[in-house]
Amino acid sequence: MKSKYKIVLFDLDGTLSNSAKGVQLGIEAALQKMNKPVPDLSDYSQYVGPPLLTTFQKLCGLTKEEAVAAVELYRDDYEQRGKYENYQYEGMRELLETLRGAGAVTAVATSKYEPFAKWVIEYIGLGGAFDAVCGSTLDGKRKEKADIVRYAADTLNVEISKQTICLVGDTMFDAAGAVQAGCDFVGVSYGFGTAEQIINAGGTRIAASVSELYNLLFE
Query: Is it the case that residue 102 has pLDDT exceeding 90?
Result: yes
Q: d(Cα 14, Cα 45) in Å, to the nearest integer? A: 9
Q: What would be the CATH architecture of the domain defined by 7-18+87-217?
A: 3-Layer(aba) Sandwich (3.40)
Banded pLDDT at 78 (limits 50, 70, 90): confident
CA distances from residue 51 to 63, 142, 143, 191 in whole angstroms, order as listed: 15, 10, 6, 17
Q: Which amino acid would we find at residue 210? A: V
Q: How far apart, in Å, are the Cα atoms of 132 and each of 20, 67, 94, 115? A: 23, 29, 18, 12
| Cα distance between residue 120 and residue 123, in whole Å | 5
Q: Per-residue confidence at 16, pLDDT binned at 50, 70, 90?
A: very high
Q: Residues spanned by CATH 1.10.150.240 within the chain?
A: 20-84
- Return d(Cα 127, Cα 97) in angstroms, integer: 12
Angle CA(210)–CA(110)–CA(133) in degrees, nearest 5? Answer: 90
Phi, psi torsion values for 186, nearest 5 degrees: -125, 125
Instruction: State which H helix or E strand residue 193 sits in.
Output: none
CATH 3.40.50.1000 domain extents, the chain: 7-18+87-217
pTM: 0.87
For 176-194, how does the pLDDT look when each residue is reduced to its tens digit (9 = 90+)? 999 999 999 999 999 998 9
Overall CATH class of domain 20-84:
mainly alpha
The CB density around residue 56, as the number of other CB atoms within 10 Å, is 27
